[in-house]
Structures are given as structure tokens and as C-alpha cells.
Amino acid sequence: MPLTDPAGSAMIRALAHGHGGRPVMILGLTAENVRRLQAGQPIMAKGNEHGMDFPGDVMILHGETGDDIIKSFRDAGVQLPEVKMPPPGDPK
């Protein structure tokens, strides 16, 4: 059955398998999702949906910088462990 989302507000969530059978969590964001993120509205998803085996929730945030994202976590009341940022220029 085809999936439809006429309002364009659904975040697509799926579990697939990549190279060597390694599990891949897929999170597909629509333009509306991006607008909401840019407006400071985090996206929350259950970590145990679609065959994923994560006991908590997944939170997606947006920020112009890593510091903005860390501030968004704190503003959302999330207790952060040490946050590791990739070196400048590293796409990871």
C-alpha cells in the first residue's frame, strides 16, 4: 500500500540494511519538518518503532552551529553527557 502525506508533515522512519547487512536507521525529513526545526520545534520519535531496538526516544534538532544545537538540548530539558563535536571541516 503506498504511503501518502498530502500535508508534507510526516517524518519518514524506517529500518533497512546497508553494506554487509549492517542496520541503517532512516529518518526522512520533509520541507515542512525542516521549517519546524528551523523554528525551534524539535522532532521526537520513539526508538523502538519500525523494528529499531533503542529503548528511548530519538530527538532531532536544528541549529546554525553546534553550540546552538547544544543550547536547544538544554532548553528542551535534556541532561547531556559530554558532547563530542567533530573537528572543523569533518562532515561526520
Domain ranges in the chain are 12-75
Residue 31: count other Cβ atoms within 10 Å of its Cβ. Answer: 9
Residue 54 backbone zone (phi > 0: left; psi -120 to 50: alpha; other: beta): beta
Q: Which residue has the cell 520541507?
A: 31
Rg (CA), the chain: 15
Query: Which three three-digit cell numbers place residue 7?
Result: 500535508
pLDDT single digits (tens) 23-41: 888 888 999 999 999 988 8
Q: Which residue has the cell 553550540?
A: 67
CA distance 14 to 49: 8
Question: So what's the pLDDT on residue 35?
Answer: 92
Question: So what's the pLDDT on residue 34?
Answer: 92
Whole-prediction pTM value? 0.65
pLDDT single digits (tens) 52-80: 677 888 888 888 888 888 888 788 787 77
